[in-house]
Chain A
Amino acid sequence: GVTQSPTHLIKTRGQQVTLRCSSQSGHNTVSWYQQALGQGPQFIFQYYREEENGRGNFPPRFSGLQFPNDSSELNVNALELDDSALYLCASSPRSSDTGELFFGEGSRLTVL
């Protein structure tokens, strides 16, 4: 399945954070979502073959990477209090009959 690390972390405002994700075997598309408390997940960006393939309404201080082994990173610079959220990674094959994305358990970030 999709694995994410770390599961929980605490940072202070202004710091930088890197979250990691390993996609499900055979999946070459990875996307990241932010889920604030009490809300649905919001799309941050998607990567396919190491290239950004779509971006949501997030500022440039949110950046990502996808590696040749289809693992991925989400980097957030200059952390703000509102960045406190559950960050979800999802992977999918390039084509799918169901449109399903496979989600990891998430990394919960708290910014103090």
Chain B
Amino acid sequence: DQQVKQNSPSLSVQEGRISILNCDYTNSMFDYFLWYKKYPAEGPTFLISISSIKDKNEDGRFTVFLNKSAKHLSLHIVPSQPGDSAVYFCAASKAAGNKLTFGGGTRVLVKP
């Protein structure tokens, strides 16, 4: 039972344009939603998170949107840069610091 799903395995975008990554979840008990970025041969790096009491959180070029009724979240990266090329994972937990349930990842390629 895959509780967190990222239905797009890959995304290609031109430098300077917007990257939109999507994630769906099934467990209504999830309270925190996080996005991680991963380069090859490195561990996942935290990007941004949102708690279930909010519907939007911004940090620089990164914005996460949460639609609880649809059990859907998205990550917007504006403007996209070549250094953003990596695999992005969404993850969810029932409490801050609790175990994370990850999606399968979306590989983003930003073309110069």
- Please, which residues of chain A bring their CB within 8 A of the CB of B98? 46, 54, 99
Interface-central residue, A43, A54, A99, A106, by most chain B CB under 10 Å: A99
- Please, which residues of chain B bring their CB within 8 A of the CB of A102? 46
Q: Which of A85-112 contact B (CB under 8 A)?
A: 88, 90, 92-106
A31 touches B99 (CB 8 A): yes
- Residues 40-54 of chain A, each 1 if its beta carbon lies under 8 Å from chain B, else 0: 111100100000001
Interface size on A, residues (CB 8 A): 30
A96 touches B104 (CB 8 A): no
In Å, the complex CA distance between A94 and B95 comes to 11
Interface size on B, residues (CB 8 A): 27
B99 touches A40 (CB 8 A): no
- Residues 3-46 of chain B, each 1 if its beta carbon lies under 8 Å from chain A, else 0: 01010000000000000000000000000101010000111111
Q: Which of B85-103 contact A (CB under 8 A)?
A: 89, 91, 93, 95-103
